[in-house]
Structure 1
């Protein structure tokens, strides 16, 4: 008995020592000057509110429809199929390894269309730890001119000829690359040459976007790009991870999702066009909430033209109440200390892997800590969702939930069949739910 007590005593002391010295190290790192953290000095977290998450789903039933009613396509072959577009017999999607591919709806055969990392050393199908180097295809739109338009996260907008499988970079005056994350796009409903492009953050590259979320970075904005004149101007700025874009069913509003504010916002298009002409940003008083704050973080938004509803891909939802990390919103120093600890460990592990002890496990852990993906991995592996919003009021009409995965990025409805497809920036499949089941 004495030996057992001694073992538990030693174990307790070990656990206490690990916790104590780890906490002390984190506090010290949090207090150090910013300039000592080269490559991470821009991390400056702020306090923000999310008390609405206590309300859960506000009477909407939670379910497992994304699992129980879906067929999964391209399992373990589609690495982060974030944005989707249906053209004829194919579902087009961009992947985290730099490729644009299409999936045949019946045979499920996967075919590469373009590859941003084709001529880059170290890039290959399935390599997702080199997002900046290999490219990342995000928003997709098929335009009336027959081209598929896409956003590459680091370099901007491209036009793809689906017949020749060639891409053309559409640059504009004053465009900078590598200092912003381009995310989504949508065409103006009346001006054929006017394109709206979302920029999620002007501080972080895509391989560290998770830290933008932890920080509550508010450098996101919308660009209005005149493709004919080759120039662009800001429509709105100061947004906390601005994400998906869409035009409302009545074609009167520009809608955009703000991930870190749990919101879909709207701006009257007449005010957008006036701001473009005057070269100014739309006044904040003209930017309003579309419906209510959402029970989680929204990603891309798409119009279901058959109903006028807005489909919202939800990274995570809170079916009941807050998660542990939600309680840290009013503790910016704690978030700063933990983030700096993760970054410091990533640098140390990378050095060990590259110079002392090459090991794939160390390399993976170093990447997870550097990129902030460790935050994703600590989340519950559930609670991804697609939320249907009334296209006029923005009220929640239905929630399609998941008990097995999170990170839902986008949902679209096939205009030919009525089937719903959903994608993810982290999962390795596309889900399809038949018409009548969604």
Structure 2
């Protein structure tokens, strides 16, 4: 073949042959493949490193294994009903988390998440006293602002209040002046007192009150059930000596307090174990008064109008649908969950992964600790959660630890109540 023929076969400048196009495409594909592999390798290594790092990260809790009995079926007196849809919301958007309630004539006293004890009189909300200081607003500021929880009126007309962060106080409801009866910065029998929770007053003036943990504050309360440590206690304040001593210990989330009708015993709620204890004052012995409740109980209150006890259920339990029940026997998983847990995250997860056949529940109990009635709102249309039920003549008031209203039910509006 001569040189002329060879030159004729050579492509002209600026033209591409099909073979050259294939070569260029192959080069692009090869260039693309060069970075795809390393990218996914790096991504996989990063994900593995994150998982390993999370697993190796120290947990804030030292989880202990515990077990709960299988939740009771929602049948009989627990059968779902919508009695609470006859209720109404009061002061919606004006009260944040009115957990505990005292009705005294025309006055209603409630403590709220902004740290205030409020006096509601003739429909007007008046701020009475706050034990902490600003900043306030949001659960992250509670440790400085304070959080009033349980409260009772004593025989002398003083309002006795426990603040979750600050302790036990006697309040003059006419002036808002207060006296510190017990500061939570004080050790009791060598142990810290954190998350002071509820109280009741004995005929002799002694004040029985719970503290939920020796390690965790209220704005860390998910850590208590994630850890499972039974360090909650029932304490007693003696006004004669101004001293505080331990009455009961070994409680997993000690909570509501209520004297029995004859004042011979103290009923104490152990929230995470879904039960209530009865402590006999004379003998010093404790026994389980109510066990395996259909939810995690909060406060307990006696109604002099019906001669029964009302218990607010903070979170409903149902078989296969309770996050706490599921995690209880798995301390390793609770330990890892605690690394990311917060109050809002736990409530969110329970709302979407712990759906039950009913939303809000309060239990009416007889003197023997038997459930004789439950009042519910299956959808949360009116009442979404209940921490406490306070009874007045023909009226039930409902408080909650994180909702923005007070509930009220006129029992005469409910057929057969």
The reply to whether residue 75 of structure 1 matches residue 89 of structure 2 is no
What do residues 367-410 of structure 1 show as CA deviations (whole Å, max 9, x unaligned)? Answer: xx5x43210122227623111111x2111111111222644111
Mapped to 1, the partners of 2:44 and 2:368 lie a distance apart of 49
5 Å-filtered alignment, 1:124-163, equals 126-163=137-174
What root-mean-square deviation, in Å, do the aligned CA atoms of Structure 1 and Structure 2 show? Answer: 2.6
Mapped to 2, the partners of 1:328 and 1:399 lie a distance apart of 27
1:324 Cα deviation (Å)?
4.5
Aligned to 2:262, the other structure's residue is in SS state coil
1:215 Cα deviation (Å)?
2.1
5 Å-filtered alignment, 1:347-358, equals none
1:127 Cα deviation (Å)?
4.2
Partner of 2:262: 250
1:310 Cα deviation (Å)?
1.1
Partner of 1:431: 407
What do residues 264-284 of structure 1 show as CA deviations (whole Å, max 9, x unaligned)? Answer: 110112024xxxxxxxxxxxx
Aligned to 1:379, the other structure's residue is in SS state helix
| Structure 1 pair 234–65 and aligned structure 2 pair: CA distance change class (3 A) | same
> Pick from 167, 170, 176: which aligns with 2:181?
170
Partner of 1:394: 369
CA contact (8 A) 1:319 1:383 kept: no
Mapped to 2, the partners of 1:324 and 1:198 lie a distance apart of 25
| Structure 1 pair 19–216 and aligned structure 2 pair: CA distance change class (3 A) | farther
1:289 Cα deviation (Å)?
1.0
1:137 Cα deviation (Å)?
0.3
1:65 Cα deviation (Å)?
2.3
| Structure 1 pair 140–179 and aligned structure 2 pair: CA distance change class (3 A) | closer
1:412 Cα deviation (Å)?
0.9
Mapped to 2, the partners of 1:430 and 1:257 lie a distance apart of 22
CA contact (8 A) 2:184 2:196 kept: no
1:25 Cα deviation (Å)?
4.2
Partner of 1:358: none
Q: Which runs of 5+ in 2 are unaligned?
A: 1-41, 353-357
Q: TM-score, normalised by structure 2?
A: 0.80
1:188 Cα deviation (Å)?
1.4
> Pick from 393, 402, 412: which aligns with 2:390?
412
| Structure 1 pair 20–316 and aligned structure 2 pair: CA distance change class (3 A) | farther
Mapped to 1, the partners of 2:103 and 2:318 lie a distance apart of 30
1:173 Cα deviation (Å)?
11
Partner of 1:295: 294
The reply to whether residue 234 of structure 1 matches residue 246 of structure 2 is yes
1:337 Cα deviation (Å)?
1.1
Aligned to 1:373, the other structure's residue is in SS state helix
| Structure 1 pair 145–30 and aligned structure 2 pair: CA distance change class (3 A) | farther
Partner of 2:337: 338
Mapped to 2, the partners of 1:116 and 1:172 lie a distance apart of 11
Q: TM-score, normalised by structure 1?
A: 0.76
Mapped to 1, the partners of 2:143 and 2:276 lie a distance apart of 28
Q: Computing the radius of gyration over CA atoms, which structure comes out larger, 1 or 2?
A: 2
Partner of 2:131: 116
CA contact (8 A) 1:116 1:134 kept: yes
Q: Which runs of 5+ in 1 are unaligned?
A: 1-16, 35-39, 273-285, 343-368
Partner of 1:421: 397
The reply to whether residue 373 of structure 1 matches residue 367 of structure 2 is no
Number of residue-to-residue matches in the alignment: 361
> Pick from 203, 208, 218: which aligns with 2:220?
208
Partner of 1:267: 279
Aligned to 1:29, the other structure's residue is in SS state helix
